[in-house]
Structure 1
Amino acid sequence: MSIPATVAVFVGSLRKASFNRKIAHILADIAADSLKLEIVEIGDLPLYNQDLDDEGTPPAAWTAFREKVKGFDAVLFVTPEYNRSVPAVLKNALDVGSRPYGQSVWGGKPGAVVSVSIGAIGGFGANHHLRQSLVFLNVPTLQQPEAYIGGVGHLLDDDGKLTNEGTRTFLGKFVADFAAWIEKNRAH
């Protein structure tokens, strides 16, 4: 049996009661036998400013983030949609990890996107906008199954546990396909 791939999980919502964080934890539970998912916090990263890298004075939080992400085999983004795009905190994490130029922590890491929304279209805009950045960052991103979790407020109980079996089955398939995608695309 092979060692489970390690997956850095980035949650695009900073709310304490974030549906996205709850879904990220559910995914980690579902994946426990095949993947090791770990949430990497992004809320305290200072906004990216290239001058700080150019001057050789990047904030310690940037350096720690970059070093941490380098150690993972793959990446998973669980995000809400803000104004038909990704939240600023998630875009900032992408920018911090992609610099200094030529030293991106993202390049070649297999990835996947799950968008989560209380609305009916499940964060479609954010999901696809994020994929545009991932193409440029050389993150081979799982194409199928696409994961748009709409109406999430009706899928979880008061403790954040998934109550919808159809969604649980779908997320199980998503995790299995993501594990196969990682195995196919990860650097050995």
Structure 2
Amino acid sequence: MAEQIKILGFAGSLRKGSYNKSLIRAAIEVSPNDMEIEFFDLGGIPLYNADVEADGDPGRVKEFKQAIEAADGLLIATPEYNHGVPAVTKNAIDWASRPPKKAPLNEKPVGILGASPGMTGSARGQSQLRQAFEFTNSYCMPQPEILVYRAHEKFDEQGNLTDERTREYLGKYLESLYDWILKFKETG
């Protein structure tokens, strides 16, 4: 690794004690030296509404889009609700997909991960999110995947990732994401 890259990370949860927010914080802690991860909190982004968009993006949406544009890639930690991607995550993607073909998500490399108390570690939510990125012309890293299952056993009460195996794997995942983003940065 040699070239510095900037990643925008966000969690598809508004909950203060979210495992997925904690997962992004852990990613910041274990990220390679040549990778800067900036956390963006989705709080304050309204539900997507084309009538609101026609009057101009709300301030928090503008901030979100500008942060995406300034980043070389995205890192999204999504929970899984009812076997799918949560509305908070999908809503953020809907706003960032506008306007089509000129959206900040267009040709943006993306890494997806997630944590869940369940045994599938947000696998279904991640799968649905990948489908949404096909339309936005974003480049989702296909492998490796990181599915943090039984998250309540891997984070302490303060939200610190305490499971060393998960921490090690997260570091390797970020090295792969670095290489993935560099592929598109070199060709862009």
TM-score category of the 2 structures, normalised to the smaller one: over 0.9
For residue 6 of structure 1, give the secondary structure of its aligned residue in structure 2: strand
**Matched AA of 2:58:** P
- Mapped to 2, the partners of 1:83 and 1:119 lie a distance apart of 11
Give per-residue Cα distances to partners, 1:84-130, cap 9 Å, x unaligned: 11111111111111112332110111111002100111111101000
Partners of 1:64 and 1:113 in 2: CA distance: 21
5 Å matches for 1:1-188?
A: 2-54=2-54, 56-186=55-185, 188=188
Task: Give how far 1:157 is off.
Answer: 2.4
- Tell me whether 6-15 or 44-53 shows the greater mean CA deviation: 44-53
Identity of aligned residues (%): 33
- Deviation at residue 180 of structure 1 after TM alignment: 0.8
In 2, Cα distance between equivalents of 1:13 and 1:60: 20
More moved, 136-145 vs 61-70: 61-70
Q: Which amino acid aligns with 1:109?
A: K
Structure 1: 4+ residue segments shifted above 4 A = none
Mark the runs of 5 or more structure 1 residues left unpaired by the alignment.
none
Q: How far apart are the structure 1 equivalents of 2:91 and 2:4?
A: 28
Q: Measure the CA separation in 2 of the matches of 1:148 and 1:126.
A: 10
Segment of structure 1 superposing worse, 176-185 or 58-67? 58-67
Amino acid corresponding to residue 158 of structure 2 in structure 1: D
Alpha-carbon spacing, 1:101–1:142, altered in 2? closer, same or farther (3 Å): closer
The one-letter code matched in structure 1 to 2:47 is L
State the Cα deviation string for residues 15-72 of structure 1 (Å, max 9, x = none): 1111111111001111051311111121211111112333x43322222222222111
User: What secondary structure sits across from 1:66 in the alignment?
Assistant: helix
- Structure 1 residues 177 and 50, CA, compared in 2 at 3 Å: closer, same or farther? same
**34 and 45 in structure 1: CA distance in 2 versus 1, 3 angstrom threshold:** same
- Name stretches of at least 5 consecutive residues in structure 2 with no aligned partner: none
CA RMSD of aligned residues (A): 1.6
- CA–CA distance in 1 between the matches of 2:170 and 2:134? 23
